[in-house]
Amino acid sequence: MAGMAVGCPPLAAQDPIRASPGRAGGAVPMTMPQTAPARPASPTLRPEHRTSPDWIGRQAARALILEVETWPKPGLVSHIDTGAHQDMDAALLRLSARTLEPYFVALAEAGAADAGMDRLRLIGLEAEAAMRQATGNVNTHRGAIFGLGLLAAAAGLAGACAWRRPLGILIAARWGGEITAKPQEAASHGGIVARRYRAGGAREEAAAGMPSVYDVARPALREGRRLAAGDEEAARVHACMALIATVEDSNLLYRGGIDGLAFARAAALRFLRDGGVGCRHWRWAAKAIHDDFVARNLSPGGCADLLAMALFTEALES
Ligand SMILES: CC(C)(COP(=O)(O)OP(=O)(O)OC[C@H]1O[C@@H](n2cnc3c(N)ncnc32)[C@H](O)[C@@H]1O)[C@@H](O)C(=O)NCCC(=O)NCCS
Ligand SMILES: Nc1ncnc2c1ncn2[C@@H]1O[C@H](COP(=O)(O)OP(=O)(O)OP(=O)(O)O)[C@@H](O)[C@H]1O
């Protein structure tokens, strides 16, 4: 794969995270940089054998399963309970993750061949169809297919052209313009929310290079490990709360409107301000927030996806 004649996209003249279409309204400039980007210099990718499409696909499925095996995540499905969801449980999410693995492999291969967004979208739609077939038409991972799928494609492209900077920056530089140019779906829940609240959702996050993954979830995972003496599940809960406190999650907006989003953010922020997973009784504090979300039928599915994406990028970037 490393020998393939694929040219990496030139770096954006400005940091695509700060100057992305989603954030600043302009197209990502595809010229060589004059100055170093603002994001901290690169996590280098792992050795070549660990960037093969098969390995990338396995890591994507593993990240989805790790996300499920995390409790308490406010309103979300886990191995302990189904949160604010009537139509899915942990077993269905695990089945969905396993079903999607070959599609993540295909996306990594397509990325390695420098495919454009049209090709990636076709594979993404096939993955959605396979997910619905396997789950009896339940939307277990639509948002995750999109975000993790783009990261898998970026990992494939990065391996093919020795890209040594974050995968999110590669997404913004290679596919950000095409993601922004595609009209928003009218009938999807994300589309309805985008019109009603001018919320950018999953597409804006991706076109901006996944800032919530790199600037929120990854630092929170590290902080969670420090606070909870290396307890990985605690670190994932800490990162989930950090995401809920900041992300404009279209699932929260669809189910709870502006008030639901504000309630969710305030609860997560209070948890973090009280010490997060460094607090002695953190699990019960998180469980109380989980119960409040369930009582209000709130579920931050976008934050769950972003947590999985953070775990995936940790596995691929050292
Ligand atoms: C862009 C997508 C996510 C459509 O989303 P849309 O905004 O129309 O809304 P929809 O309700 O279907 O899904 C939104 C999902 O995104 C996630 N999400 C919500 N808010 C956010 C956020 N702020 N950041 C990231 N993800 C979020 C949630 O899981 C949510 O369920 C995607 O499903 C799509 O276009 N699929 C077609 C296939 C494709 O293009 N694939 C690309 C290559 S993999
Ligand atoms: N553990 C999880 N629990 C719940 N949702 C998750 C989880 N992990 C990821 N998600 C994301 O949440 C989305 C599903 O959320 P949800 O069921 O709230 O949305 P919906 O199907 O648009 O609408 P509805 O509100 O009618 O159920 C999926 O696209 C998926 O990517």
What's the chain's Rg over C-alpha atoms?
A: 18
Nearest ligand 2 atom to the CA of 189 is 22
Report pLDDT digits (tens) over 72-110.
999 999 999 999 999 999 999 999 999 999 999 999 999
Answer whether 141 contacts ligand 2 (Cβ < 6 A): yes
Q: What is the pLDDT of residue 44?
A: 55
CA-CA distance, 19 to 211, in Å (whole number)?
12
- Is pTM beyond 0.95? Reply is no
Ligand nearest to the CA of 203: 1
Structure tokens at 142: 């639509």
pLDDT at position 12: 41
CA atoms within a 13 Å half-sphere pointing along the CA-CB vector of 26: 12
Question: Does any domain span residue 275?
Answer: yes
**125 phi, psi to nearest 5 deg:** -70, -35
ipTM of the complex: 0.97
Angle at 216 between CA 213 and CA 222, to 5 degrees: 95
Question: Which ligand is nearest the CA of 168, by number?
Answer: 1
CA of 33 to the centre of ligand 1 (A): 30
Answer yes or no: is 13 within a domain.
no
In a domain, 111, yes or no: yes
CB 256 within 8 A of CB 242: no
139 lines ligand 2 (CB under 6 A): yes
**Residue 318 pLDDT:** 73
How many domains does the chain divide into? Answer: 1
Question: What pLDDT is stored for residue 8 in this prediction?
Answer: 67
The pLDDT score that the predictor gives to residue 183 is 85
Is 77 contained in some domain? Answer: yes
Angle at 21 between CA 20 and CA 25, to 5 degrees: 115
Q: Cβ distance 296 to 251 under 8 Å?
A: no
For atom 1 of ligand 2, which residue has the closest CA?
A: 77
pLDDT value of residue 15: 35
Type of residue numbered 197 = Y
Q: Is the CB of 143 under 6 A from ligand 2?
A: yes
Counting ligands in written order, which one lies closest to the CA of residue 191?
Answer: 1
Q: How far is residue 189's CA from residue 176's CA, in Å, rounded to a whole number?
A: 22
* Separation of alpha carbons 234 and 78, rounded Å: 14
| Ligand 2 contact, 120 CB (< 6 A) | no
- Please, which residues have CB within 8 angstroms of residue 165's CB and are 6 or more apart in sequence? 11, 37, 39, 41, 42, 43
- Which residue positions in the chain have pLDDT lower than 70? 1-50
For residue 165, is it within any domain? Answer: yes
Provide the residue range defining the domain that includes 129. Answer: 47-316
In the prediction, which pLDDT does 186 show? Answer: 83
Supply the pLDDT for residue 184: 82
Burial readout 254-277 (b: 16 or more C-beta within 10 A, e: otherwise) = bbbeeebbebbbebbeebbeeebb
C-alpha 96/C-alpha 94 separation (Å) is: 5
Closest ligand 2 atom, residue 68 Cα: 1
Q: Is residue 203 part of a domain?
A: yes
Q: Does 142 map to a domain?
A: yes
Tokens 């009537």 correspond to: 86
> Looking at the CA of 146, which ligand is closest?
1
Q: Which atom of ligand 2 is nearest to the CA of 305?
A: 9
pLDDT (tens digit per residue) in 235-270: 999 999 999 999 999 999 999 999 999 999 999 999
CB 189 near ligand 2, within 6 Å = yes
Give the Cα separation of 229 and 196 in Å (integer): 43
* Cβ count within 10 A of residue 91: 11
10 within domain boundaries: no
